[in-house]
Structure 1
Amino acid sequence: MTPMAAIAGARLAHRDTPGRLVLLDHPLFKFGGLAMGVGELFGDKMKSAPDRTVLLGLLARVMSAGIAGSALAPRGREKLGAGLAVATAVPMAYLTLSGRKKAMAEIGQTKSGLIEDALIVAAGAAVVAWAVRGRR
């Protein structure tokens, strides 16, 4: 949910994305996107949280990445942006899960989760900030 939360944050800061996301112009979806991103950050720390590679986790990742990739792509290249984002998000789910499991064994679930979240939120914010730079 980080991509959607980052885009919602940009929209709340009155920044436009290159691609059009009509739903994120509505306050309910802006705040909902932020809430989902925050909820994921907290939910990920629970011992009962499923791996990100389960079917529903991957489906959510595909949808979120596709929407974000489309929104951040230059106009007319939204399908390519969505495809590239999905093609990146799915393999990264497996790579980051592997890294997270190794980190959990060494420093624990909460610490490894906080470090991972800080990196992901910073990367997501940087990508969205780069894509919306100069747009109002």
Structure 2
Amino acid sequence: MIRSVLIGLVAGMRAMTPLAAVSEAARRGTLPSDNGALPLLGHPLAAAGTKALAAGELWGDKLASAPDRIVPAGLAARLVTAGIAGAALAPRRQALLGAALGAGAATAAAYLTFGLRMRAMRRWGQTATGLVEDAVALGATRTIVGR
């Protein structure tokens, strides 16, 4: 269940990255055999679509017009994607708990990382801080989901 919490923490920073990684792992068949992943996650179109959305989010985050992650739509996206990813990384019989843990962790991390990012942006700017946050999110996701 720890992976469900950890993937939720990453979703607090980047909503789509954890979902894209879990979808790709489901497509490749590298999730544990007793996982709570929705069958649709492993479909090639789902994997390609979530990767495209994740790439768009990584790019869009550097724009001055990017909305804050703590606006209602941003929080809702994080709740949904972290819940799906958290369930996928949990044992099948505990998928609902994995979803709840992932969603809860994403909400907490969204507020925590928002505050950190705002302070960092005042010193280093939006692009530099966004790139650092991207690297943290991508590295953590890769470690959590595995290859």
TM-score, reference length from structure 1: 0.90
Q: Distance in 1 between matches of 2:75 and 2:41?
A: 22
Q: Distance in 2 between matches of 1:33 and 1:20?
A: 15
Deviations 1:11-38 (A, max 9, x none): 3443135223211222111100111111
**1:15 match:** 30
The gaps in structure 1 that reach 5 residues or longer are: none
SS of 1:77's partner is helix
**1:42 match:** 59
Q: Bigger shift: 106-115 or 1-10?
A: 1-10
Q: Distance in 2 between matches of 1:10 and 1:78?
A: 17
Q: Does 1:5 align with 2:20?
A: yes
- The one-letter code sitting in structure 2 at the alignment partner of 1:62 is L
**2:120 match:** 103
**1:26 match:** 43
Q: Distance in 2 between matches of 1:20 and 1:116?
A: 26
The gaps in structure 2 that reach 5 residues or longer are: 1-15
Q: Distance in 1 between matches of 2:62 and 2:81?
A: 20
RMSD: 1.3
Q: Distance in 2 between matches of 1:21 and 1:84?
A: 17
- The one-letter code sitting in structure 1 at the alignment partner of 2:63 is M
Q: Bigger shift: 17-26 or 34-43?
A: 17-26
Query: Does the Cα contact within 8 Å between 2:27 and 2:41 map onto a contact in 1?
Result: no
Q: Distance in 2 between matches of 1:26 and 1:6?
A: 13
**2:71 match:** 54
- The one-letter code sitting in structure 2 at the alignment partner of 1:24 is L
